[in-house]
Structure 1
Amino acid sequence: MNYGGMAMSFPSALRWTLVFLAVALIGLTVYAQGTASVSGTVRDADGVAIPGVSVVLDNLTQGGQQSAVADGEGRYSFTGLAPGSYRLTASLGGFEPGTAEQQIAAGQSAAQDFILKLASFFESITVTAQKREQEILDVPMSITAVTGTNIQDQGVTQLAEIVATIPSLSIVETGPGTQRAQIRGISSPQNLPTVGLYFDEMPITAEAAGAGLDVRLLDLERVEVLRGPQGTLYGESSMGGTIKYVTRDPQLDELGIDFDSAYGTVTDGDAAYRANAVVNIPAIEGKLGFRVLGGYEHSPGWVDYPAQGRVDGNEGDATTLRIKGLWIVNDAFTASLMLQGQDSDYDDQNYADPDRTAPFVLPQPLHEKSKLADLVLTWETDSFTLLSSTGYLDRENEGAYDFTALYLPIFELFGFPPGTVDTVALTFGGTSDHWSEEIRLASKGDARFNWTAGAYYRYNDSEGYNLSVTTPNPLPFEVYQTTESDTTQQSAVFGEISYDFSKKVDATLGLRYFHDKREQSSSVGQFGPPADNPDQSGTFDSVDPRLVFSYRPSDGTLLYASAAKGFRSGGFNLVPPGCSLPTNYDPESLWTYELGSSASMKSGRVVVQGALYHNDWSDIQTLTLCPGTFVALTDNVGKASGNGVDLQLTLTPVRGLQFTLSGNYNDSQYDTTSISHYEGDQIDYATPYNYAVAADWSFLWWEGHPGLLHLSYQTTGPFDINLRNFGIDPMSSDAITGLNARLAMTLGGVELSLYGQNLLDENGAVSPAIPLGGVPSAVRLQPMTLGVGLGFRY
């Protein structure tokens, strides 16, 4: 051979070739001796091999992940492994996953077999409705839990989008911070809410009906809806029930990234789009971790305002930032801190006529900011758990209504010629600060006697105003202006005990004492300079028991009977001279008597949850006229009652296919007559029925590429708003029917989806056409929306 003038004989070349081959062979031998493998077989409980099982291998020493699929004889293997610690997870739909850890040495051929047990067809949900962890079918109350996975599968971001799938719950919203929820027909158009709201362990219930916090369903573990009075464990305003939003905890063992986005086109409207990302950071493995969420959503505009020359003018934006940290200090002590900020800004509200136009001559914007924090400290012992939750919530809001049609005729009545005033806006705004603290002790273990005891404190300081803006203004003052400052200090002690008389029979008794001290200062000006009202203060007390008897005739079946009392705190009247009505009105009282059951049959193929109940609502805070005047004030003279049924049926005929049927009926009505309603009138905002059918199908597009199809059809019945005190007969919303769908495909860690919302293009009145500002316009649903989604998980 000759390379650039250098010659080498054939024997010499052969000799060097053999040397190179020997060195390479030695290297391969050393490498082979240094690497390892793990293999095994996956079988069921009867010893039969299971093909198609996904086996994931996590390298706990160096990081990284591999996956394999068991062959036709249930065998899998991983080769070429570096020495170290590994975790293997075997999973297949219809079976409970198996997990094992292996410490593999250099050159070792490790064996790891799996035996997978059949899973129940019904995937049970762990809830904390009774402030301790329980399987949902073991809780003796009427409850629905929507998991975070189910929320993602449906592609929704607000509870109002799936409300009809939750028996006895209805929600009306016109914009951010305007959520009005009712459960089981317990609702009121004024004063405090009748449904309690919780975010993790802290209360976020507003101080006014129809002012619920705009909670986005982002990175949640689940949403629990508790039906019936929850006064014992959850306190004031939980008369009709309680809604709990539970966020996901950080995972302390692995880094994770979750991204989700969607873009949609809206019939007769603007585009809808959103994106949110979650990053899970294990700062100290097994000890300290953080979960960071950032979300943005653009709500489309679809209402036109001809008088203003605006098209699709009710668009809005919402941003959310959340940071949650979890610190496992030791085996006994855990600390969790959650911080969240949210900013919602809407150019207008969802009031519209059937042609999706609105006659308003002025914009009606809404803007709300909220900041909340919740510090939870938990100390575990062998016999009890001690928990402390310290919460803070700060809210700011501002907006405006168009009151031109209402006030222009009044100016003319006062002698101003037509055209003197062009427009009148009623602006509003406010701030509120809430501090809360709850300390709770709960027993542990499987003893026959269990107990929970705690103390609660909440402080609220809020200020608000209403101010008309007249353009041009011929008066030296505005026609209407008010200010109000409120301070509330609430305290409570509560306890609940349960005793198992046998393996089948147990009883629970709970009691809560509540004390509320309120102070208020205000001023009012109507067609004149504002004048201060007398300062007011008062204290309100309530004692609220709960009694439950439970019977479990067999595994998977629960029957219960309960009686529970709920309440809503009192408030103040501005009583004119000579009026005999009280300056303070007292708390309301609601007793609910309930018979319920849950049952899992056919290995979880059929699951039924249902309840029959009777409501007896007394001392309702009702508008009443001062004798001989047209002044309407609040007094505890109302009564209402009604019967109802909640039902949810889950059918899983085969693995991966599930049907859910849910619905309710309620006939609650007023039993007394007042200036705002007559005996027999439907309770305000209470829907007599809703029902829904949903189908969820998990399937494979092809090997290794799963798919998901979700379909839901839902109907919400009409509700009334009683305005007889204004000379108006009760006004009704429409029965609303919705059809939604989502189809998804997963390619590796990427999910692609198509979705449709309001596929029937429902255009009925979600809320009646109240003559707000003198112009009757109803709240309507967002028109049909078709879109695509993109997400990935790492």
Structure 2
Amino acid sequence: MQRKWAILTSCGVLALSAPQLAAAQDVASVNEIADGNEIIVTASKRAEKLQDVPTAITAVSGEKIESLGIRDFRDYASLVPGLSQRDSGAPGTGTIILRGLNSGAQQTSNTSAVYIDETPFSPSGFLSVGALLTPSPELAEVERIEVLKGPQGTLYGASNLGGLVRIITKKPDASRFFGTASAEVSSVSHGETGFLVRGSVNVPIVQDQLALTATGYYRRAGGFADNVTTGTDDVNRSNLYGGRVALRYQPTPDFTFDLSGIYQNIENEGYAFQRLVPGTFQAAFGRYGYASYADLGADIKYRIVNANAEYKLGFGTLTASGSYARYKTQIETDQTNPYIALGRTVLGPVAVPVFGVPIDTLLPADSFARFHASPNMEKWTGEVRFASDRMGAFEFMLGGFYTDEDSIYYTTVFVHDAQGNLRPAPRDALVKATTTSRYKEVAGFGNLTFYLTDNLDITGGLRYAHNKQVAGTGGPGGITYYLPRTPLTFNFSDNSLSYLATLRWRPAPNISAYLRAASGYRPGGPQTNPTPPPGAQTFVRPDTVWNYEAGIKGSVLDGSLSFDLSAFRIDWKDIQLNSLVNGIILQGNAASAVVDGFELQLTARPSDLLTVSLSAGHTNARLKAIDPTASSVTGAQAGDKLPLTPSWTTAVILDHQIPFSNSVSGNVGATLRFQSDMPSNYPAVTAVGQRKIPEITTLDLRASATFNERFTAQVRVDNLFDKLGFTNIGVDATVIRPRTITAGLSAKF
């Protein structure tokens, strides 16, 4: 534990011991707005204009997050070309999908990563089961969200095959005291009232050197789905609460030390489900009605601590970062189908000879099954890197990275009787298992940029990573259909090398074109069957991608029109899938896929008061080949579309400012979102899985007034036409939020 805490404290010691090493040099602040419309981003681990970074990025600023009323992942995912989700129906849950890289419902490890500041929040271990969660921080704390498309393996390491989401938080300001307070009330059609209260304060402790920011919030997301079995209305209400404390120490312009901590709890009392008649889109129990023998939900707890120090030397910037991230979860769902029927099939022939009772006594047909899934993680991470300034024709970055990640995944299938009561031990748990994953990685990375001319440069990058894994299955007291399961431990180690090459041409100060080729990987791991049958893999290799991309971005007409256009192709090889080998389901490298597409973002400012933004994306993600052993389990065939990625997405955002007087200004706006139909699963899985999720079109309206630049009143209507939209389909369909009317007040002081 002392060694782990050293990751955090060493950054502070290093920072405090050498601030005088830095020499004065002006570098663009990450908060700067260039030319009035371009955000400075740090996607390349340098502060650069968004239009100059040679990769596809969508950046959503904190101001835009507030004005649009963005509150959770889907709110901004639907604005970002190429970004989607396996929506599990509750905040904080689900799988992030970028550029279509999603292998289906059996996928449990990440293909897209999440960073919060310098903290890699997504687990990387082969058995980490991190893909069940989508971080959902309070977005009022956010300076901006950067969505990086395509693999970022050389700078960010493992498990971002499709890209990554970087959430950049607001930093303290030592120049002045200020704060904000806000409150909202929302009414959900077909549901109940929700609310939000939030406050934030920025306190200079030492003028212009040391400052503290503290934020706290409580949000109730009103429910609208009804559990027809228990008779509970609006069961999918959620409570999200927590806070953040951040400290910034900047004794000289050349040295900055940041320390921050995030605390968040998410309490979901149910899910945004609607039961459908099998094989149709007809509601089985009416709109937003579903059936579960009990009101089951999900609880998620996030804790993050990050320390970061930066020194501006006379020839570059040295950065040292250390972080600790933890989450604990409890996710419960009604899984009566398939566990009870399958359990009776498995136990039927052995019930009397092994257990001494008939199957109807051991596991009655009218039993209910409660599936309890609990992925948990602790992750310690440290990184040191040096980014040089331009030195003649060259510029480079060198760094080292270390992570130590512990993941524990508890799964239990509890059995309840026909009245919903938990059956007495030892028949209370039909299945019980603990999966552990200890993942350690050490990596070195670097890139070198050579300027052929001031307007033409090439960059090459490499990252070498070595990981060690210790995996455990079964766990103490493990059982499978009431039969004991032996705990097993497996060791594994592997090396990976990632590559990057870019060619960038800037024909004008406001135009940048690029070609990019980059690779990425998701770690493999041990085969967890102690006696794999003949023909099975003894270990599972990493699956890898190569992303080939061409893009152009910039602004014209004196900045009144900005654009970002990219086209890409991704080759995904050795996809990790469940496979059936001699009657045993095992993990293996069993498929390949290809993804083609393009992404477009346009922003027009025809006047100082009017802004119109358009984002559009086309993604064609399909299996290229699949082994018959995996096809028999997944139902997938070569040529099938990868699940839960729409072919087309479009969003149009319009905002018009209204200067009523010198002290009062207004704004009216609208957001139109479109998502084309998409496969819910591979076509041959089941009759349920053969359905395509229909397209979704929604319209949001908003209006606000600001008085003396201090007080703002806002009204929003989300999903104006009360569209019923599906985002995922299994036994139940996951639905989007119905029409929601929100009124809010905020104040600055």
Please indicate, yes or no, whether the TM-score normalized by the shorter chain is above 0.5. Answer: yes
Q: Which amino acid aligns with 1:158?
A: D
Task: Mark the CA change 1:522 to 1:264 in structure 2 (over 3 Å): closer, same or farther.
Answer: same
Corresponding residue of 1:504: 455
How far 1:725 sits from its partner (Å)?
Answer: 7.9
Q: Are 2:676 and 1:717 equivalent residues in the alignment?
A: yes
How far 1:666 sits from its partner (Å)?
Answer: 1.3
2:409 to 453, 460, 464: 464
How far 1:255 sits from its partner (Å)?
Answer: 0.6
Task: Mark the CA change 1:498 to 1:363 in structure 2 (over 3 Å): closer, same or farther.
Answer: same
Q: Which amino acid aligns with 2:435?
A: E
2:70 to 136, 156, 166: 156
Greater CA drift, 187-196 or 779-788: 187-196
How far 1:458 sits from its partner (Å)?
Answer: 0.8
Task: Mark the CA change 1:475 to 1:274 in structure 2 (over 3 Å): closer, same or farther.
Answer: closer
1:745 to 693, 698, 705: 705
SS of 2:154's equivalent in the other structure is: helix
Counterparts of 2:272 and 2:494, CA distance in 1: 37
Counterparts of 1:496 and 1:182, CA distance in 2: 27
Corresponding residue of 1:788: 743
Counterparts of 2:331 and 2:533, CA distance in 1: 36
1:584 to 517, 535, 539: 539
* Conserved? CA contact 1:329–1:335, under 8 Å: no
1:339-380 deviation digits (Å, cap 9, x = unpaired): 010001011112223411001112221001111000001122
Counterparts of 2:406 and 2:71, CA distance in 1: 30
> What is the TM-score with the length of structure 2 in the denominator?
0.86
1:181 to 82, 86, 96: 96
1:729-778 deviation digits (Å, cap 9, x = unpaired): 5443222222112110012211111111111212121112x1xxxxx111
Counterparts of 2:404 and 2:34, CA distance in 1: 46
Greater CA drift, 533-542 or 370-379: 533-542
Corresponding residue of 2:355: none
2:190 to 268, 273, 289: 268
Q: Are 2:400 and 1:455 equivalent residues in the alignment?
A: yes
* Conserved? CA contact 1:707–1:746, under 8 Å: yes
How far 1:723 sits from its partner (Å)?
Answer: 5.1
Summarize the alignment of residues 110-509 of structure 1 with structure 2, pairs less than 5 Å apart: 123-173=37-87, 174-189=89-104, 190-206=107-123, 207=128, 208-353=130-275, 354=283, 355-410=287-342, 414=348, 415-416=359-360, 421-445=366-390, 447-472=392-417, 473=423, 476-477=426-427, 478-509=429-460
* Conserved? CA contact 2:225–2:233, under 8 Å: yes
Counterparts of 2:84 and 2:290, CA distance in 1: 25
1:203-250 deviation digits (Å, cap 9, x = unpaired): 111342232322231221111111111001111111111111001111
How far 1:422 sits from its partner (Å)?
Answer: 4.1
Greater CA drift, 221-230 or 160-169: 160-169
Counterparts of 1:188 and 1:406, CA distance in 2: 22
Counterparts of 1:583 and 1:163, CA distance in 2: 38
How far 1:565 sits from its partner (Å)?
Answer: 0.5
Corresponding residue of 1:599: 554
Counterparts of 1:243 and 1:557, CA distance in 2: 25
* Conserved? CA contact 1:176–1:368, under 8 Å: no
Greater CA drift, 700-709 or 539-548: 700-709
Counterparts of 1:608 and 1:572, CA distance in 2: 46
* Conserved? CA contact 2:549–2:568, under 8 Å: yes
Counterparts of 2:194 and 2:494, CA distance in 1: 46
Corresponding residue of 1:40: none
Counterparts of 1:667 and 1:410, CA distance in 2: 36
How far 1:332 sits from its partner (Å)?
Answer: 3.6
* Conserved? CA contact 2:473–2:528, under 8 Å: no
Counterparts of 2:65 and 2:210, CA distance in 1: 27
Counterparts of 1:290 and 1:479, CA distance in 2: 51
* Conserved? CA contact 1:484–1:520, under 8 Å: yes
Corresponding residue of 2:503: 549
How far 1:162 sits from its partner (Å)?
Answer: 2.5
Q: Which amino acid aligns with 1:750?
A: F
Counterparts of 1:123 and 1:553, CA distance in 2: 20
How far 1:156 sits from its partner (Å)?
Answer: 1.5
Corresponding residue of 1:699: 658
Counterparts of 1:463 and 1:155, CA distance in 2: 35
Counterparts of 1:671 and 1:399, CA distance in 2: 34
Greater CA drift, 684-693 or 418-427: 418-427
2:523 to 569, 573, 590: 569
The answer for unaligned runs of 5 or more in structure 1 is 1-118, 771-775
Q: Which amino acid aligns with 2:564?
A: Q
Task: Mark the CA change 1:420 to 1:175 in structure 2 (over 3 Å): closer, same or farther.
Answer: same
* Conserved? CA contact 2:72–2:91, under 8 Å: no
* Conserved? CA contact 1:122–1:652, under 8 Å: no
Corresponding residue of 1:84: none
Task: Mark the CA change 1:249 to 1:476 in structure 2 (over 3 Å): closer, same or farther.
Answer: closer
Q: Are 2:642 and 1:683 equivalent residues in the alignment?
A: yes
Q: Which amino acid aligns with 1:531?
A: R
* Conserved? CA contact 1:569–1:587, under 8 Å: yes
Task: Mark the CA change 1:120 to 1:347 in structure 2 (over 3 Å): closer, same or farther.
Answer: closer
Counterparts of 2:229 and 2:520, CA distance in 1: 47
Counterparts of 2:416 and 2:575, CA distance in 1: 41
Q: Are 2:444 and 1:527 equivalent residues in the alignment?
A: no
How far 1:474 sits from its partner (Å)?
Answer: 7.6
Q: Name the Cα RMSD after superposition.
A: 2.0
Counterparts of 2:320 and 2:528, CA distance in 1: 39
* Conserved? CA contact 1:599–1:607, under 8 Å: yes
Counterparts of 1:506 and 1:311, CA distance in 2: 60
* Conserved? CA contact 1:363–1:400, under 8 Å: no
Matched pairs, number: 668
SS of 1:604's equivalent in the other structure is: coil
Counterparts of 2:576 and 2:373, CA distance in 1: 25
Corresponding residue of 2:30: none
Counterparts of 2:252 and 2:51, CA distance in 1: 32
Bigger Cα Rg? 1
Counterparts of 1:320 and 1:476, CA distance in 2: 38
Q: Which amino acid aligns with 2:371?
A: L
Counterparts of 2:662 and 2:309, CA distance in 1: 46
* Conserved? CA contact 1:298–1:318, under 8 Å: yes
Q: Which amino acid aligns with 2:557?
A: K
Counterparts of 1:577 and 1:725, CA distance in 2: 27
Greater CA drift, 492-501 or 175-184: 175-184
1:385-430 deviation digits (Å, cap 9, x = unpaired): 1111101011111131112343444566534179675432122324
Q: Which amino acid aligns with 1:428?
A: A
Task: Mark the CA change 1:180 to 1:191 in structure 2 (over 3 Å): closer, same or farther.
Answer: closer
Task: Mark the CA change 1:191 to 1:316 in structure 2 (over 3 Å): closer, same or farther.
Answer: closer
1:543-586 deviation digits (Å, cap 9, x = unpaired): 11110001112221111111111111112333355342123211
* Conserved? CA contact 1:421–1:471, under 8 Å: no
SS of 2:78's equivalent in the other structure is: helix
SS of 1:654's equivalent in the other structure is: coil
Counterparts of 1:446 and 1:277, CA distance in 2: 45
Summarize the alignment of residues 83-122 of structure 1 with structure 2, pairs less than 5 Å apart: none
Counterparts of 1:151 and 1:229, CA distance in 2: 25
Task: Mark the CA change 1:519 to 1:732 in structure 2 (over 3 Å): closer, same or farther.
Answer: farther
* Conserved? CA contact 1:188–1:685, under 8 Å: no
* Conserved? CA contact 2:343–2:481, under 8 Å: no
Task: Mark the CA change 1:281 to 1:480 in structure 2 (over 3 Å): closer, same or farther.
Answer: same
